[in-house]
Amino acid sequence: MDRRAFLSGLTLGMVWAPLAAEAQQPGKVPRIGLLDYGKFWDPLLQRLSELGYVEGRTIVFEYSTSEGQPERLPTLAQNLIQRRVDVIVTYGTPPTQAAKQATTTIPIVMVGLGDPIQAGIVTSLARPGGNITGNTILGPDIGAKRLQLLREALPKMSRVAMLWNPQNASNRAQFENVQRGARALGLTLVPVEASSLGEFDSAFTAMMKKRPDALIVTADPVQQLFVGRIIQFAAGARLPAVFQIKENVIDGGLMSYGPSLPELFRRAAMYVDKILKGTRPSDLPVEQPTKFELVINLKTARALGLTIPQSLQVRADEVIR
């Protein structure tokens, strides 16, 4: 759903209740800052619509995007503060860090972080404290689990590349997890770094020089903004790739294992709602995913000349044929 569809599909809702940080003035329309907004944020907007909020009438969204240039995030965060937003919503670690550095008072709802504790965003999931709460996309050892599933699909795999963003603290934690998993499976991990759009082509070239058998892709916001290029590269290089997000497999990736990103955004809308009704962010525990979905694209497998074992297919939550 694009923004036009969102605007046209909204129904009248009730004016929201006071904010957590400070009581809202009667008749004031709350402003929600969307830091580094992208098309995959639509479930957040849809859920707020379902809760009865109408853009331009009972809520105002301040959209901002770095366009794949993370160095712009601190300025974008400051711009949102200057627009007097009441809540800031972020996706991923770098935008959340930028928002955290910009304000200690405006509530921040983070979506899909890898490890907010290791990234220095919160000190505890149960008691986040401060002005930040939200949800995470990773569970314990999920990176190693994704690698294990890829090994089941490719029993002869010996070298696997991992495309990751070293500027993303959560990506670094995930890389370390995958590295441990690779050692346990006797695999050689080929790390390839890409922090911005301009680094993808050189990353792809460096990757192929190492002749990997497969590729691991993260849910880093920069990678997701340009994930079409990654999927296209993997197809052209005949490189089986495992992703974190189901939508990447629908778009042509081989397989994915992880929580539902749309659901994480929908859950984030509930956090925004609670904060605007008076709950303090520090009183809202950070949610961890409880369900992880395995999705396999057999069309992509056939194009790559692969036969996915039946034992893996029957365990999949969804098989695209």
Report long-range pairs for 231-237 (Cβ below 8 Å, ≥24 apart). 233/200, 233/204, 235/300, 235/303, 235/304, 237/204, 237/208
- Rounded distance, CA 56 to CA 41, Å? 18
Residue 25 vs residues 103, 106, 165: alpha-carbon distances, Å: 21, 16, 42
Give mean pLDDT, residues 267-275.
98
pLDDT of 169 strictly over 90? no
Give percent of the chain with pLDDT exceeding 90.
Answer: 78
Q: Specify the 3-state DSSP secondary structure of 296.
A: strand
pLDDT of 25 strictly over 80? no
Is there a contact between 192 and 162 (Cβ–Cβ < 8 Å)?
yes
pLDDT of 22 strictly over 80? no
What are the domain boundaries of the chain? 3-137+261-283, 142-258+292-320
Q: What is the pLDDT of residues 108-167, one digit of tens each?
A: 999 999 889 988 999 999 999 899 999 999 776 788 899 999 999 999 999 999 999 998
Q: Record the tokens describing residue 189, joined without a space.
A: 């991990």
Give percent of the chain with pLDDT exceeding 70.
Answer: 91
Unique residue bearing structure tokens 């495992």: 242
Listed range (25-39, 201-215, 224-238, 301-315) with the worst mean pLDDT: 25-39
Q: What is the pLDDT of residues 52-101, one digit of tens each?
A: 999 999 999 999 999 888 899 999 999 999 999 999 999 999 999 999 99
> In 93-238, which residue ranges form alpha helices assigned H by DSSP?
93-102, 142-153, 169-185, 200-209, 221-225, 227-236
Unique residue bearing structure tokens 């699909």: 153
Please list, in sequence order, all residues whose beta carbon lies within 8 angstroms of the beta carbon of residue 67, skipping any fewer than 6 positions away: 225
Give strand pairing partners of 55. 59
pLDDT score at 12: 30
Mean pLDDT estimate for the chain: 90
Model confidence at 14, in pLDDT bands (50, 70, 90)? very low
Domains 3-137+261-283 and 142-258+292-320 share a fold: yes
Cα angle at 38 between 2 and 4, to 5 degrees?
Answer: 20
CATH no., domain 142-258+292-320:
3.40.50.2300
Choose among 262, 261, 263, 247: nearest CA to 295.
Answer: 247
Q: What is the pLDDT of residues 292-313, one digit of tens each?
A: 999 999 999 999 999 999 999 9
Q: What is the DSSP letter of 141?
A: T
CATH no., domain 3-137+261-283:
3.40.50.2300
Which residue has better confidence, 175 or 205?
A: 205
Please list, in sequence order, all residues whose beta carbon lies within 8 angstroms of the beta carbon of residue 174, skipping any fewer than 6 positions away: 114, 115, 138, 143, 164, 218
pLDDT score at 1: 44
